[in-house]
Amino acid sequence: MNPSFPDAAPKGAERRRDPRATIDLPIKIALPDGEHDARLRDVSKGGVCFYLDRRIPEMTMLRLELDLPNEPGELPRRVRGAGVVVRCLPLSPQIDHYEIAVFLNDITDSNRERLEAYVADAKG
């Protein structure tokens, strides 16, 4: 640990603050050129990671919408919000698909609570 920054994480350590859950569901992404269908990889109350067939530059703002599964017989839990791209990595040099991480900086408390509840249930 760096004595100058006592709360700093050691180099190479997990930097995520919030627990996350792996999930494979569709997600709608709204960018300036329109809506795009993507595939979720994981979620937390602070962000999402998804796969998309196009590169999105870091620091790009976007809107998103997804439906989290719920108890049988109940409607899915819809989550809407906006965030900023913090990472965009190619999946492979041979294909034009990317893993994109988004920090959710504009999301209602109720939507953040839905994400947090989903992660808690998934971690069981």
What's the confidence (pLDDT) of residue 15?
55
Residue labelled with tokens 């100058």? 4
pTM of the model: 0.83
Q: Cβ contacts of residue 84 below 8 Å, gap of 6+?
A: 59, 60, 61, 62, 102, 103, 105
Distances (CA, A) of 51 to 18, 80, 88, 116: 20, 18, 9, 21
Q: What is the mean pLDDT of residues 38-47?
A: 96
- Domain range summary for the chain, segments of one domain joined by +: 28-123
Bridge partners of 61? 84
DSSP state at residue 15:
-
* Residue, of 4 and 60, whose pLDDT is higher: 60
Model confidence pLDDT, tens digit, residues 82-102: 999 999 999 988 888 999 999
What's the confidence (pLDDT) of residue 16?
55
Output the average pLDDT for the chain.
Answer: 87
Architecture of domain 28-123: Beta Barrel (2.40)
Residue pair 67/111 in contact (Cβ under 8 Å)? The answer is no
Residue 34 in this model has a pLDDT that exceeds 50 = yes
